[in-house]
């Protein structure tokens, strides 16, 4: 049969026009994307309002891993990571699919228990690192519809939440140990080739699933990303994904694990990196809140996120209730986890704790919902949360240790009291309040209303006026010629008296009315007075005048750094001088992408940095794993060791000109990263670029 011949150039023209049209389509898509990264604070406050009010949510880790329930061969300490921690090959792990049939799952019962506990939102694993989807996805068969259960769990839970005015939220893992395009492979998965894997194609798969999750289940409260720490994910992907999801649902809230800037389990994002909407401390509660930063501690009730049938190390109800108060007293949210069984049930120990927390919340939730961080640095008997009221403030005093002498002392507070009463007392019968020096003392009954946390309400006039000393504010602790230092406080109707000789300021000491100009090493002390009386302690800080490090003569400096690349398995930085480099040469800046393998490698970079003007310069070293920065022969930043992305910094006085510097870096396994940044006179914090580097 003759076949029609198309002239070659017509075929080429057709292909080119298809490419051109698809590029136009993609750019249209991008151009239609609104940029939510530049949201106003008013818009953000409106979007965050329900979440800040909520303060308390339920985390649910559920999936195929509930089937083995923590056990594999001899191992009994696994959970949601079991495919990796037990090194289960894909085809073995897939055998859990036909075993997943949680016939006792009842979404309404789960939501009822969460609501009774006082929780306002539920975050459930739509897909954890194992890649299995608890929802009906058109993008994969590795989902709940391929199990005997064949019901869309996300759909049922979303509907149950809506019925009970509970926000439904999705956890979604960026890391995916099942999808063929996800990289890197697990180190032990030597049989599973990465040939043909295309990470960009994986990102599109993830975006397609997120479109399903954020379009098919109604309004979603939070997208809780996780698994963002591996080397293939980065800040740019995170910013793009944040915008992508916000364009699907503009009011959705997204955590900081969408980006790549989270520093470890303390969960906050380093300055300058993309942050998402809230920090995510994990299994830990920050020592204090961070003014103006939204954050949420996520925590297990025992030692595992996913169900482990052998894990009976349950936190006590007392511990959980006091943790809820502690977190709220620092301005954070508490996301408390349950790992349901393969049958679809909450473990009884979890049910018991939810119930007991609900009993406490039934009486005291006003002291949690919509509250703000404590105005006190610390309280020996418990915690404090607060709310604004007309012409004053309502303090919720969470008393863990009830005073045996029936006198509850609230130290260092200068406000006039309005009234005090027990939150558990429906009649709000007044408690007597007297002033003793800088404290207010509340007469309380002998018997605490609650054995774990009794809330005493103290209403005061105006904003809290606490005996905090003034703050001492300056750019640096060291200076070359002159340094401006300010003493500040937001307390009203006060004077700040100061000394410059290390003595305690008394009433006759000078008053700080403008920034102080220091020209020699000085210890600044500040103390607050009102109506001739000291109403704070004293704060002190020493500022040191230093001689700048002289520049060196660089002979015929050329752009770029010398570098040497090594391979090896280290726990700490080796002495590279004793090793043979795999390769070396010059490189424009600190760049680890020239490595020949994705783990067990190291670099040493050496050259000069050209400092523009005399001044104090901050250097930052952010790495996963270890790194060190040398200026001349001096080790100035030691960030060595096995760790996730972690940033350390140093301030150095430098003369203008060339300064010799050296950076050592190594990565063992898992994520990796190296960022060397600088901040100085006229230089905002930024990566040290090619323009400043020479050899
Ligand atoms: O690897 C996960 C872990 O399984 C769990 O999901 C926690 C909960 O936030 N997040 C990761 C560990 O940081």
* 41-63 tens-digit pLDDT: 999 999 999 999 999 999 999 99
Q: Is the pLDDT of residue 2 over 50?
A: no
Q: How far is the CA of 355 from the centre of ligand 1 (A)?
A: 25
Confidence of residue 8 (pLDDT cuts 50, 70, 90): low
Q: How far is the CA of 226 from the centre of ligand 1 (A)?
A: 7
Which ligand 1 atom is the nearest neighbour of the CA of 171? Answer: 6
What domains appear along the chain, each with residue ranges and CATH number?
52-367 (3.20.20.80), 382-461 (2.60.40.1180), 471-545 (2.60.40), 561-694 (2.60.120.1560)
pLDDT of residue 607: 98
**Average pLDDT value for residue range 327-351:** 98
Confidence of residue 175 (pLDDT cuts 50, 70, 90): very high
622 Cβ below 6 A of ligand 1: no
pLDDT of residue 481: 94
- Residue nearest atom 3 of ligand 1, based on CA coordinates: 305
Q: How far is the CA of 258 from the centre of ligand 1 (A)?
A: 13
pLDDT of residue 671: 72
**Average pLDDT value for residue range 480-505:** 95
* Residue 537 CA from chain centroid, whole number: 33
pLDDT tens column, 457-469:
999 999 999 998 9
Confidence of residue 5 (pLDDT cuts 50, 70, 90): low
For the chain, give the mean pLDDT: 93
How far is the C-alpha of 655 from the C-alpha of 273, rounded, in Å?
Answer: 29
Contacts for 672 with CB less than 8 Å, ≥ 6 apart: 231, 592, 598, 599, 624, 625
Q: Is the pLDDT of residue 13 over 90?
A: no
Closest CA to 397 of 438, 357, 433: 433
pLDDT tens column, 139-157:
999 999 999 999 999 999 9
pLDDT tens column, 594-613:
999 888 999 999 999 999 99
pLDDT tens column, 530-584:
999 999 989 999 999 999 999 999 999 999 999 999 999 999 999 999 999 999 9
80 Cβ below 6 A of ligand 1: yes
Q: Is the pLDDT of residue 108 over 80?
A: yes
pLDDT tens column, 618-650:
999 999 899 999 999 999 999 999 887 788 999
How far is the C-alpha of 242 from the C-alpha of 274, rounded, in Å?
Answer: 10
**Average pLDDT value for residue range 683-688:** 93
Which residue is it, tokens 């809290």? 464
228 Cβ below 6 A of ligand 1: no
pLDDT tens column, 313-330:
999 999 999 999 999 999
Contacts for 514 with CB less than 8 Å, ≥ 6 apart: none
pLDDT of residue 1: 38
Confidence of residue 3 (pLDDT cuts 50, 70, 90): very low
Strands 121-127 and 56-60: parallel
Residue 624: phi, psi to the nearest 5?
-140, 105
The 3-state DSSP class for residue 632 equals: coil
């Amino acid at each position: 049969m003759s076949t029609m011949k198309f002239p070659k150039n017509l075929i080429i023209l057709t292909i080119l026009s298809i490419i051109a049209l698809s590029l136009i389509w993609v750019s249209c898509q991008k151009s239609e994307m609104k940029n939510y990264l530049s949201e106003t604070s008013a818009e953000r406050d409106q979007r965050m309002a329900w979440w800040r009010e909520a303060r308390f949510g339920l985390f649910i880790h559920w999936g195929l891993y509930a089937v083995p329930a923590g056990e594999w061969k001899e191992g009994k300490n696994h959970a949601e990571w079991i495919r990796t921690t037990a090194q289960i090959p894909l085809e073995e792990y897939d055998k859990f699919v036909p075993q997943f049939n949680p016939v006792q799952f009842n979404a309404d019962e789960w939501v009822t228990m969460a609501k009774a506990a006082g929780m306002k939102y539920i975050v459930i694993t739509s897909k954890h690192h194992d890649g299995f989807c608890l929802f009906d996805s058109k993008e994969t068969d590795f989902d709940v519809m391929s199990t005997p259960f064949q019901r869309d769990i996300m759909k049922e839970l979303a509907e149950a939440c809506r019925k009970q005015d509970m926000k439904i939220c999705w956890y979604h893992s960026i890391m995916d140990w099942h999808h063929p395009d996800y990289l890197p492979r697990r180190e032990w998965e030597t049989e599973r080739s990465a040939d043909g894997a295309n990470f960009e194609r994986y990102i599109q798969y993830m975006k397609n699933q997120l479109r399903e999750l954020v379009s098919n289940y109604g309004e979603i409260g939070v997208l809780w990303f996780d698994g963002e720490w591996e080397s293939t994910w980065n800040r740019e992907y995170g910013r793009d994904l944040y915008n992508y999801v916000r364009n699907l649902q503009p009011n959705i809230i997204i955590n900081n694990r969408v980006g790549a800037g989270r520093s470890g389990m303390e969960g906050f994002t380093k300055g300058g990196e993309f942050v998402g909407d809230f920090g995510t401390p994990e299994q830990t509660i920050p020592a204090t809140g961070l003014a103006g930063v939204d954050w949420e501690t996520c925590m297990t009730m025992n030692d595992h996120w996913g169900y482990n049938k052998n894990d009976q190390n349950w936190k006590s109800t007392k511990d959980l209730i006091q943790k809820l108060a502690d977190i709220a007293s620092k301005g954070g949210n508490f996301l408390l986890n349950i790992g349901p069984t393969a049958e679809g049930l909450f473990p009884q120990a979890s049910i018991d704790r939810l119930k007991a927390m609900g009993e406490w919340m039934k009486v005291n939730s006003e002291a949690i919902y919509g509250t703000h961080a404590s105005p006190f640095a610390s309280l020996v008997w418990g915690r404090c949360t607060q709310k604004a009221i007309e012409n004053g403030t309502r303090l919720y005093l969470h008393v863990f240790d009830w005073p045996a002498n029936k006198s509850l002392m609230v130290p260092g507070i200068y406000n006039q009291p309005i009234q005090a009463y027990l939150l558990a007392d429906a009649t709000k019968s007044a408690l007597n309040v007297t002033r003793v020096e800088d404290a207010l003392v509340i007469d309380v009954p002998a018997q605490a209303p609650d054995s774990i946390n009794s809330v005493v309400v103290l209403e005061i006039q105006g904003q809290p006026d606490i005996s905090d000393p003034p703050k001492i504010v300056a750019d640096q602790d060291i200076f070359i010629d002159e340094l401006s230092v300010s003493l500040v406080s937001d307390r009203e109707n006060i004077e700040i008296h100061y000394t410059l000789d290390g003595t305690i300021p008394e009433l006759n000491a000078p008053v700080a009315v403008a920034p102080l100009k220091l020209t020699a090493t000085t210890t600044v002390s500040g103390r607050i007075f009102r109506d001739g009386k000291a109403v704070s302690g004293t704060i002190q800080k020493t500022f040191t005048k230093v001689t700048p490090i002289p520049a060196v003569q660089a002979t015929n400096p050329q752009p770029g750094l010398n570098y040497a690349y090594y391979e090896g398995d280290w726990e700490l930085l080796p002495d590279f001088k004793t090793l043979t480099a795999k390769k070396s040469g010059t490189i424009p800046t600190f760049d680890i992408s020239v490595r020949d393998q994705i783990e067990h490698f190291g670099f040493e970079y050496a050259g000069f940095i050209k400092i523009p003007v005399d001044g104090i310069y901050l250097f930052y070293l952010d790495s996963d794993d270890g790194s060190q920065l040398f200026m001349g022969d001096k080790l100035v930043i030691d960030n060595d060791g096995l760790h996730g992305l972690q940033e350390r910094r140093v301030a150095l006085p430098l003369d203008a000109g060339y300064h010799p510097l050296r950076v050592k870096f190594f990565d063992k396994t898992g994520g990796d990263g190296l960022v060397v940044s600088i901040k100085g006179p006229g230089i905002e914090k930024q990566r040290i670029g090619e323009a400043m580097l020479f050899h």
